[in-house]
């Protein structure tokens, strides 16, 4: 059996989606413990921040992406993660008692979470990618 490599043009999509799914998984799983909830939330931020930074480094160093391209790919991962969290919140609202108004607002989160996450994720990733490029030269 031979192993076929994913073409480079599609590998960044797969990586961004996997990173985004990881963000969502971390956000949901780290919210489950009821004791020391604040510590678990901080831990989720730290883990996600390390993955975010690693994604920027991977894009710039390993793939050699230009700063704007790297930032776009990283922002897509963040948007996928935010969408996953919004889906999780919507599912949770169906399992607990909530009003129809809350359901409508949570439906908005399916669009708002990714947009409100992707824009700052792009800006920060772009600045970091430029700085990383300058540090390498």
Q: Is the pLDDT of residue 3 over 70?
A: no
Q: Is 66 left (phi over 0), alpha (psi -120 to 50) or beta?
A: beta
**56-100 pLDDT per residue, tens:** 999 999 999 999 999 999 999 999 999 999 999 999 888 888 788
Angle between helices 37-57 and 67-95 (to 10 degrees): 150
For 4, half-sphere exposure in the C-beta direction (CA atoms, 13 angstrom radius) is 3
**93-108 pLDDT per residue, tens:** 888 887 888 888 899 9
pLDDT at 10: 72
* DSSP-derived secondary structure letter, 4: P
pLDDT, the chain, mean: 91
Domain range annotation of the chain: 13-30+38-136
Q: Is the pLDDT of residue 5 over 60?
A: no
Q: Is the pLDDT of residue 45 over 90?
A: yes
Place of tokens 């919004």: 86
In this structure, the number of other CB atoms found within 10 A of the CB of residue 45 comes to: 14
Find the mean pLDDT for residues 107-126: 97
pLDDT at 133: 87
pTM > 0.85: yes or no: yes
* DSSP-derived secondary structure letter, 5: P
């Amino acid at each position: 059996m031979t192993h076929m490599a994913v073409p480079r043009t599609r590998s960044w999509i797969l990586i961004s989606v996997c990173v985004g799914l990881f963000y969502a998984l971390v956000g949901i799983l780290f919210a489950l413990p009821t004791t020391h909830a604040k510590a678990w939330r901080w831990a989720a931020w730290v883990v996600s921040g390390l993955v975010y930074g690693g994604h920027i480094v991977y894009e710039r160093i390993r793939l050699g992406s230009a700063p704007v391209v790297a930032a776009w790919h990283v922002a897509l991962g963040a948007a996928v993660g935010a969408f996953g969290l919004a889906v999780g919140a919507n599912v949770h609202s169906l399992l607990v008692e909530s009003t129809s108004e809350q359901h409508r607002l949570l439906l908005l989160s399916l669009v708002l979470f990714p947009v409100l996450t992707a824009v700052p994720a792009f800006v920060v990733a772009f600045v970091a990618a430029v700085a990383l490029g300058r540090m390498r030269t």
